[in-house]
A and B are shown apart, each in its own frame.
Chain A
Amino acid sequence: MTNWLNENILWLIPAAPLLACLWIVLVGQVIGRKYAHRPLVLGLAVSLAASLYLLTVVVPHGFGHDEHESSHSVMTTVYQWIKIGTIDVPVTLRADAMSALMLTMVTSVSLLVAIFASSYMKGDPGYPRFFAAMSLFVFSMCMLVLAGNFLLLFVFWEAVGLCSYLLIGFWFHKPSAAAAAKKAFVVNRIGDFGLILGIFLIWQTFGTLDFAALFESPKLIDGILAGQPDILHWICILLFIGAVGKSAQFPLQVWLPDAMEGPTPVSALIHAATMVTAGVYLVARCTPFFVHAPYVQMTVAGIGAATALIAAITALTQYDLKRVLAYSTVSQLGYMFMSLGAAGGGEGLALHAVTFAMFHMFTHAFFKAVLFLSAGSVMHAMGDVIDMRRFSGLRKALPITHWTFLAGALALAGVPLLSGFWSKDEILAVLAAASREGEHAGFYGIILAIALLTSLMTAFYTFRAYFMTFWGEEKFPEEAGHHPHDAPPAMAVPLAILAVAALGIGLMTGPTHLYGHYLHHTPGLPHADEFPIDWLMMGISSILAAVGIGTAYQLYVVSPKIVENLQRRLSLAYQASQNGLYIDWFGYKFIAAPLRGLAAICEFVDRWVIDALVDCVGFIPGLFGSIIRPIQNGMVQNYAAVMMLGLVVCLISVLRVLVETH
């Protein structure tokens, strides 16, 4: 039994949601449309159990730091896809400590979100379609994480993009949703273009796309570096462009806030907890490459910082609850990239930088999921109104939602001992370490300053949203009816579990270094010493969180008048923040408009030059036809004559060839 499990565990994880998807598409559409969520919940439960089991398989001898040597990856070739000549594309699944942790996160959050959605989406005409797309998403995400080579990774990188498109545009009859889906797809394409170029370059350079071959043998990379010292910079920058698109980093972050047009469970699962972190995963996975490209790592940190700052500034003044959370997601993803970039600060930091980024991704998945789902619960109760100006004081009407939202908000703000605190603090600490030593200390100093500022703003905007929604006088929009109802059990239970996770999962894995020690088992990660606890950063971040929350309380509960005054006084800055620093506007004006011009030129060329050429080519067969038509005239004598002629021509040519030889 154990042997069987060890061998088959890898394909079991993605297969369960895939089967669920097939079942819903083929059967669930017709029979039991109301129960379309059941196969998915069942499949995800299997996947989660398998993922938890996988955690013990990839690191067989306990979690301790000492058994570093025993770390290894598990691989299965599921299927030999194409084999023509030297081109060989196997479908290989590969799992190591990093992917096992990520899978656990993906499947557990998905399971809870699926249960939540079974109640949230009730009564929607596209109920089975929603769950089919969601199962397809979880399948693709699992395959993305389990991919054993870059090609497979790319395939499922695209597949999760497709699912994201399908789910953002789930209510496709709404023009804004359709437009948002399209925008997300197109913006992602830019990043994907970078990624595929990067993959081409890896193939060109290394001659293989296999993770095991690329990452587990430093000799290969050293050999390449000896010949082409710059090539890894190019590869890394291209891979990073892919990550920028998928993880909504500056300047491609524009798609994520719009993606909130999709159903809220989708926002929670895909656009907060899982898919958007694929970029972080990609960069973390390619650490063996990135450590040889310090300038790219600085770019990663710089882009991360810029994104975190811009998104946090934008989040300060949004009125749409989901948009606040969306900007916050972008901002937190920026944090993760800052952390990944900190690896450029010194030799010993790479491992810690990756660990802390992955850890923040892990905790973020839980507390952001609970925030989004609570927002969904608010939306559910308020009759799909999400504008925070139209409701307030909900803490009495929606007690469960209130408490779970508060748990998520506290974790996100970085209140001591909660999960966000541990992971954010470690990122700050590794940035501080990078700013203390090395040749780029000044650069990382700036990044650290931005990170601290962002941390303050995070606490502020999170609690601004919280106070605006749950405090103040009780006010409901008309759409909500007279008695808004709190989350039903199927929504409340996942909310409660996630809230507990948001509070405690950091405490469980942070100070004990459980997560870090486990992740160190990933083959290919550089070795490093124990990272000391940075009490200074811990203190500063606690103070910042307290200041942020306090300011929000002062401004939005105690004396709301100040806000109005501030808005009037700083109307320019306020407008800029409200409009996301005009980045969208800038993009439309200076990128989309010239492109539209180019498209017009292309259309002209296509219509009048290429089409004309094609028409000319198309004319040839017609001409040809008119030549042969007299021959193929239905007269059998004619046919015989041509056949004879053909035979004679063949005979003559054969004879001629024979005469010429010798």
Chain B
Amino acid sequence: MDFEALFKQFLSGDVAQQASILRSLTIFLPELVLSCSIVLMLVARLVSLDRIIPTHWFALLGGMASFVIVLFQFWEFGNSQTVPVEVFTGLAIHDEFSIFFRGFLTFFLVFVIALTVLTGIPDDEDAPDFYSLLCGAVIGMMLMSSANHLLMLFIGIEMASVPSYAMTGFLKGKRRSSEAALKFVVYGAGAAGVMLFGISLLTGILGTAQFSELAPRFQAVFASHAGMQDPATRCVALALLMIAVGFAFKLSLVPFHFWCPDAFHGAPAEVGGFLSVGSKAAAFALLVRLTTSLAGDGSGALSQLSLSCGLGLGLIAIVTTTFGNLAAYSQQNIKRMLAYSTIAHAGYMLMAVSALLVLQSVQTDLVFQGNHQENGPRAMEGLLYYLCVYLFMNLGAFAIVALIRNQTYSEEIDDYKGLAQQVPVLAICMAICMFSLVGIPPLGGFYGKAFIFASVYEATNVHWFMWVVLAAGGLNTVISLFYYLRVAKTMCMDTRPADAVPVSMAASSSPALYVMLVSGMVVFLGIIIDPLSKVALHAAHALF
């Protein structure tokens, strides 16, 4: 191909369902804006511009701008008959689902930056480093959510992980912080290695790394060989397992969760909040994307594949939730407790993915209900709704931890005794977040859980094992009550010891308003359910 032809393709050369490079670049605009703001931040420090304009403004404006662009893309999708397209020659995909997650992540980024501004965690000196790491991680996560190729999958995960390692160790003076970062790195490297091995196995056997091609190739491999006994099929299963290890690491699923409590304990609470929501959301987006494309149309061998994947994930979900909840119970440090709670919540969310795969496995084989076609999107709607509520309730909890730390220099639950007497705003908002994390109506967490459990219940029609998953989910909700409410009880019902460090915060100060906004959203999402659930359902439909 000569230069002219290349250039022509660059401008307009649409292959079927693939956007040209120019169009790809416009679609990629939110990520580009974020990248530009990173560059700007670094250049600003070079020319000492950051003495005049604080760095967080660059990050905040960059985040907002990319959120607005994503919103615009969403609006474009809703209004015109835009169809999903593959961008950058099929490496990534642009559909409602990826837009939903990109919007989610940029929105979250804005909230995290606002929080760090309020708590003052990177000081002026470190701000450019911190915010470029933060924005970089978000770009990685956005890539994860729109990945359409195994290569992109790996790059996305690594791009999200590497800045996370650095941010975990951001409190350079603190031994615990550096240690946590190192553990995180070692662990992450191990998981990435296993995953890369899995990816190369899969690519080698199936001869493609394109998500959309995986299902037909697998069927072809399955048909040309003697079924499950054949080494090729086994290799596929092993490769998938190894890729799953990478996901398990990102989602901190048992037994690949060890980094999580240590990292959260060592990292500043703001970073903890960021990791617990952001990387989880991106990893779920990617997991859902990969598994649904593997499940394909659920015919023949794919049905069996997606059923066994679903049941396996269900089993891991049970173990993870139970483990997280039981281990959280005996924690004294609130960040450690929240780390285990994050593990448990990853388990709940994994139940939705498990239900989805189990439901997909009978897409064409059996039709037992009129609205059966809706079951898959419904499960996804549950996951997306849960993630949105989770954003607010978890961020709220971490924000309150950070704000209290700024005044008491303590993150032990015992030091929270009787805070309701001194800072009722924080105590009430914390109680709201905790109640929502348990899943008590009428808070958002309840509806998230209700949606997920409803789709697990639907999945019980397909396989009896989902009853076990459902029961485990219910039982775990009860167990989780103990440790969440302990925090609320300590803050609201105990009396503040006389020698405790006093905490003060006016109800109209900006940190208090921030916390009220976040926990207000938790309440809001528990009362006004319809708009968000509709958007979530709309995004979920893009996958099917």
Binding site for B on A (CB under 8 A): 79-85, 617-618, 620-622, 624-626, 628, 631-632, 634, 636, 639-640, 642-643, 645-647, 650-651, 654-655, 657-659, 661-662
Contact = CB atoms under 8 A, between A and B. Distances in A.
A619 to B, nearest CB: 10
Interface string B416-438: 00000000000000000000000
A662 B186 contact: no
Contacts of A646: 254-256
Contacts of A654: 237-238, 241, 312
Contacts of A625: 326-327, 329-330
Nearest to B479: A621
Contacts of B454: 84-85
A650 B254 CA distance: 11
B326 A84 contact: no
Contacts of B458: 85
Contact of A84 (B182, B187, B325, B450): B450
B530 A640 contact: no
Given A618-B482, A621-B482, A639 B238 contact: no
A658 B327 contact: no
9 nearest interchain CB pairs? A621-B329, A646-B255, A625-B330, A639-B258, A621-B326, A624-B326, A661-B228, A80-B530, A636-B183
17 contacts: A79-B530, A85-B458, A621-B325, A622-B330, A624-B326, A626-B330, A634-B262, A636-B187, A639-B187, A639-B259, A640-B186, A642-B255, A646-B256, A647-B194, A650-B241, A654-B238, A661-B227
B234 interface: yes
Interface string B160-196: 0000000000000000000100110011001100100
Nearest to A80: B530
Contacts of B329: 618, 621-622, 624-625
Contacts of A626: 330
Interface of B: 179, 182-183, 186-187, 190-191, 194, 227-229, 233-234, 237-238, 241, 245, 254-256, 258-259, 261-262, 304, 308, 312, 323, 325-327, 329-330, 378, 447, 450-451, 454, 458, 479, 482-483, 529-530, 533
B525 to A, nearest CB: 12
Given A84-B454, A625-B330, A642 B258 contact: yes
Contacts, number: 94
Contacts of B191: 643
A623 to B, nearest CB: 9
Contacts of A83: 529-530, 533
A654 B237 CA distance: 8
A645 B228 contact: no
A642 B304 CA distance: 30
Contacts of A655: 234
A646 B315 CA distance: 14
Nearest to B453: A84
A628 B327 contact: yes
Nearest to A643: B256
B255 A84 contact: no
Contacts of B323: 628
A618 B182 CA distance: 34
Nearest to A84: B454
B390 to A, nearest CB: 18
Given A79-B530, A618-B482, A657-B308, A662 B258 contact: no
Given A618-B482, A625-B327, A643-B255, 14 more contacts: A81-B529, A85-B378, A620-B326, A622-B330, A625-B329, A626-B330, A631-B258, A632-B262, A639-B258, A643-B187, A643-B191, A651-B238, A654-B237, A662-B227
Say whether chain B's binding surface is mostly helix, strand, loop, or mixed.
helix
Nearest to A82: B529
A662 B261 contact: no
A658 B245 contact: no
A657 to B, nearest CB: 7
Contacts of A617: 479
Contacts of A84: 450-451, 454
B261 to A, nearest CB: 7
Contacts of A643: 187, 190-191, 255-256, 258
Given A621-B482, A628-B327, A647 B530 contact: no
B526 to A, nearest CB: 11
Given A620-B326, A625-B330, A662 B194 contact: no
Contacts of B327: 621, 624-625, 628, 632
Given A636-B186, A640-B190, A645 B234 contact: no
Q: Which of A618, A626, A654, A655 has the most CB of B within 10 A?
A: A654
Contacts of A621: 325-327, 329-330, 479, 482-483
Nearest to B486: A618
Contacts of B255: 642-643, 645-646
A617 B186 CA distance: 37
A46 B229 CA distance: 77
B258 A658 contact: no
Contact of A662 (B229, B378, B529): B229
A658 B237 contact: yes
Nearest to A638: B258
Contacts of B227: 661-662
A632 B261 contact: yes
Nearest to A625: B330
Nearest to B254: A646
Nearest to B330: A625
A662 B326 contact: no
A654 B482 CA distance: 35
Contact of B228 (A85, A640, A650, A658): A658
Contacts of A642: 255, 258
Contacts of B228: 658, 661-662
Nearest to B455: A85
A143 B506 CA distance: 37
Contact of A632 (B238, B258, B450): B258
Contacts of A632: 258, 261-262, 327
A640 B245 CA distance: 13
B424 to A, nearest CB: 17
Nearest to B331: A625
Contacts of A620: 326
A645 B256 CA distance: 10
Nearest to A618: B482
Nearest to A85: B454
B299 to A, nearest CB: 17
Contacts of A662: 227-229
A651 B194 CA distance: 12
Contacts of A645: 255
A79 B327 CA distance: 42
Contacts of B238: 651, 654
A654 B179 CA distance: 35
Nearest to A635: B183
A84 B479 CA distance: 25
B168 to A, nearest CB: 14
A617 B233 CA distance: 45
Nearest to B184: A636
B479 to A, nearest CB: 7
A634 B336 CA distance: 13
A639 B238 CA distance: 22
B450 to A, nearest CB: 6
A611 to B, nearest CB: 13
Contacts of B326: 620-621, 624-625
A194 to B, nearest CB: 23
A347 to B, nearest CB: 43
A217 B329 CA distance: 56
Nearest to B450: A84
A647 B261 CA distance: 20
A81 B229 CA distance: 51
A628 B324 CA distance: 11
B451 A658 contact: no
B423 to A, nearest CB: 21
A525 to B, nearest CB: 34
Q: Which of A624, A642, A647 has the most CB of B within 10 A?
A: A647
